[in-house]
Amino acid sequence: MSSVDTNSNLANLLNATQSATSTAKNSTNASSFASLTPDDFLKMLITELQNQDPMNPTDNTQILQQISEMSNIAATSSLTSSLNGMLTEQNLSAASALVGRNVTGLADDGSNASGKVDSVTIANGTAKLNIGQQTVSLKNIQQVTSG
pLDDT along the chain (147 residues), means of 10: 48 50 44 66 80 78 79 85 89 90 93 93 88 91 85
pLDDT of 119: 93
Distance CA 145, CA 100 (A): 10
**119 and 136 Cβ atoms separated by less than 8 Å:** no
DSSP code at position 101: S
β strands within 37-133, DSSP E: 102-107, 112-116, 119-123, 126-131
For residue 35, the number of C-alpha atoms closer than 13 Å in the C-beta half-sphere is 6
Distance CA 73, CA 80 (A): 10
Count of CB atoms situated within 10 Å of the CB of 24: 8
Question: Using alpha carbons only, what angle is made at residue 30 by residues 65 and 26, rounded to the nearest 5 degrees?
Answer: 150
